[in-house]
Structure 1
Amino acid sequence: MTDFSQGTLPDKRQVAASFSRAAASYDSVAELQRDVGHHLLQQLPTDFTPADWLDIGCGTGYFTRALGEHYGTAPGMALDIAEGMLQHARPLGGATHFIAGDAERLPLRDASRDLLFSSLAVQWCGDFTAVLSEARRVLRPGGVLAFSSLCVGTLQELRDSWQAVDGHVHVNRFRQFNDYQQLCADSGLRVQSLQVRPHVLHYPDVRSLTHELKALGAHNLNPGRPGGLTGRARILALIEAYERFRQPQGLPATYQVLYAVLEKEG
C-alpha cells in the first residue's frame, strides 16, 4: 500500500496557500467539484436526518450552503485548512461556525457529530488512516462519514503527455482505489458504499485546462516538481503530445472519482 505520510503528497502549507490564493477564482471554474459534490449528496441515506453536521474541506462553502439547505435547522460547521477559503465562505453563510482545521486532527470533541461530509478534499491528506480514525472518534454511534476523493488515473492524459515531453511527473499524485478499499475496511467504520466513477471534462485546448487547474488551486503541487519557468519549446511539445487524445468534444481530462459512505455502528 502506498504510504503517503512519507512526503509523496504536497506539503499542507503549500496546499493551504495555493487554495487560499484561488478562493476568488475557484467557483467560476469548479464544474467538476459541483458535479461530484452533488452526486455525493445523493449517496447519503434517504432516511438519515442528522442532528448536526460538519463539512470537511469546505472550500468556498458551496456545499456548506447546500448542506444547510438540505438539513434545514440542523446546526452545521464548516472546516478548511485554507484561511483564504474560509474568509470567502463565512459571509455567504450556510453553517453556524467556520473554523480553520485539518481533517487529520479535527478540533472537535468525541462523539459530537452525526454527519461528516467531505467532497474532493481528503486526497490532499497524507495520513488517510488518521482521517478515518478522527472520523470514527468524532461521529456519534449511527453517524455517517460521506466523502469523495480522487484516485490514480486522474488527469492521466496530461500525465502521459508530460511523460512524453520530459519524463517528469507534472500531475498531482493520488492513491490507488485498492488502498482506499483496504483503509476503509480497516477503519472500524461500516462501509455502506465505495465506488469509483470516471468524470470526463473536455477543453478546446491545453491552455484552457492548465488555466482551470491554476484557478482551482489544484495545479501541480508535488514535492520535487521541476522548478523554473516552462520553456516555450516544452509547452509546444506538450500541446503536440496532448493532441493525440483529442475527441470530437475537445481535449479530454479524466478524473477518477471515489465516492464512499461509511457508518459508525452503534
Structure 2
Amino acid sequence: MSELPADGVLPDKRQVAASFSRAAASYDAVAELQRGVGDSLLERVPADLAPQRWIDLGCGTGYFSRALEQRFAAAEGVAVDIAEGMLRFARERGGARAFVGGDAERLPLREGCCDLLFSSLAIQWCANLGAVLGEARRVLRGGGVFAFSSLCVGTLGELRASWQAVDGFVHVNRFREFAGYQAQCAASGLEVLELFTEDRVLHFPDLRSLTHELKALGAHNLNPGRPGGLTGRARVRALIDAYEQFRQPEGLPATYRVVHAVLRKPA
C-alpha cells in the first residue's frame, strides 16, 4: 500500500505541530538517534552539489539548518517547519536566512526556488507521500536534490508488540511500509539515486526511560483511536513484563527502521 489514508491512521497535523512545539526545549537533549540519522543523510548529499539555496524541511530545533549552513557557506538557507514552537526555538539559534511555517504537502515556496531540499525524520508524519514528492519536484531546480530520511513499518516494534500483548489498543505511532516509499519514489518523476532502510537500535535501562524520551521528543503516541484516560497500574505492570521479554545485555531495545532516500530532479 503506497499511501496512508488521511483520516484514522496518521495523527492530525495540528496535534503533531502542538506536540513538537511543546517539545522544543527538551528535544535536543534526547535526540541522539535524530542527530545520527541526520548526519548520515547529510553525508549522502552528493559531494559535487553546490546549491545557491537549500531548504531544511521539518527543521525542528534547527540543528541541521546550522550544519547545512556550515557545509554550504555561500548558499542561502531556508528553514521550514509546521510547529511554530520549533521555529521560534530555531530562529533564536540561527543557521538559516529565513524561518518559515509550512506543511511539507503544501509548501509556501515558489516553483524552482532551491537546489537542495533536505528533510530528516519529518515526512513520516505526512499522510500523502505523493504530495510531498510532488512539492519537492516543484520547488527544486533542474539537477536539484531531495535528500530525506523517514521511518517505516518495523519502528518501535518491541513497544507495539508489548502493548498488543496487554490490551490490543493502538499505543504506538503507525508508519508507512517501505514498499510504499519505493512505489511513490519510483512514480515521482525524480531520479532515485539511493533508497534503502537500516535498523538503528537504542537501549534503555527500563521502560520509563524509553517513554520519557518519546515524550521529550514530542513523538509519543499521537494516533487517532488511541485509548483515552490514565493507564492503570495493572496495565503498566503488564506492559513492563511484556517488554522485559525483549531485554538484551545492553538493556531494553527500541528499534527504529529508518528510510534513507536521495532523489534528483532531471536537469
Common fold by TM > 0.5: yes
Q: Could you tell me which residue of structure 2 aligns to residue 6 of structure 1?
A: 6
Indicate yes or no: 2:123 matched with 1:122: yes
Q: Could you tell me which residue of structure 1 aligns to residue 137 of structure 2?
A: 136
Give the Cα–Cα distance (whole angstroms) in 1 for the partners of residues 101 and 116 of structure 2. 18
Cα distance per residue 1:95-142 (max 9 Å; x no partner)? 000010000011111111000000000000011100000000000000
Q: Could you tell me which residue of structure 2 aligns to residue 200 of structure 1?
A: 201
One-letter amino acid matched to 1:209: L
Measure how far apart 1:73 and its partner are: 1.9
Give the Cα–Cα distance (whole angstroms) in 1 for the partners of residues 6 and 110 of structure 2. 28
Give the Cα–Cα distance (whole angstroms) in 2 for the partners of residues 93 and 5 of structure 1. 36
Give the Cα–Cα distance (whole angstroms) in 2 for the partners of residues 29 and 187 of structure 1. 34
One-letter amino acid matched to 2:180: D
Give the Cα–Cα distance (whole angstroms) in 1 for the partners of residues 63 and 50 of structure 2. 20
Q: 2:254 aligns to what SS in structure 1? A: strand
Cα distance per residue 1:192-245 (max 9 Å; x no partner)? 000101000000000000000000000000001000000111111000000000
One-letter amino acid matched to 1:229: L
Give the Cα–Cα distance (whole angstroms) in 1 for the partners of residues 228 and 214 of structure 2. 18
The answer to whether the 8 A contact 2:57-2:119 is kept is: yes
Indicate yes or no: 2:247 matched with 1:246: yes
Q: Could you tell me which residue of structure 1 aligns to residue 59 of structure 2?
A: 58
Q: 1:4 aligns to what SS in structure 2? A: coil
Q: 1:245 aligns to what SS in structure 2? A: coil
Measure how far apart 1:46 and its partner are: 1.1
Give the Cα–Cα distance (whole angstroms) in 1 for the partners of residues 170 and 251 of structure 2. 23
Q: Alpha carbon RMSD of aligned pairs, Å?
A: 0.7
One-letter amino acid matched to 2:91: R
Q: 1:152 aligns to what SS in structure 2? A: coil
Alignment gaps of 5+ in structure 1: none
Q: 1:188 aligns to what SS in structure 2? A: coil
One-letter amino acid matched to 1:53: W
Q: Could you tell me which residue of structure 2 aligns to residue 68 of structure 1?
A: 69
Report the identity percentage.
70
Alignment of 1:1-266 (within 5 A): 1-7=1-7, 8-266=9-267
Alignment gaps of 5+ in structure 2: none
One-letter amino acid matched to 1:171: V
Give the Cα–Cα distance (whole angstroms) in 2 for the partners of residues 28 and 209 of structure 1. 14
Give the Cα–Cα distance (whole angstroms) in 2 for the partners of residues 87 and 138 of structure 1. 24
Measure how far apart 1:51 and its partner are: 1.1
Cα distance per residue 1:37-80 (max 9 Å; x no partner)? 00000111111111110000000000000000011121100000
Give the Cα–Cα distance (whole angstroms) in 2 for the partners of residues 165 and 108 of structure 1. 46
The answer to whether the 8 A contact 2:170-2:225 is kept is: no
Measure how far apart 1:2 and its partner are: 4.8
Which TM-score applies when normalising by structure 1? 0.99
Give the Cα–Cα distance (whole angstroms) in 2 for the partners of residues 89 and 73 of structure 1. 20
Give the Cα–Cα distance (whole angstroms) in 1 for the partners of residues 214 and 121 of structure 2. 14
Q: 1:265 aligns to what SS in structure 2? A: coil
Give the Cα–Cα distance (whole angstroms) in 1 for the partners of residues 37 and 177 of structure 2. 18
Measure how far apart 1:6 and its partner are: 2.9
Give the Cα–Cα distance (whole angstroms) in 2 for the partners of residues 169 and 249 of structure 1. 27
Give the Cα–Cα distance (whole angstroms) in 1 for the partners of residues 192 and 17 of structure 2. 30
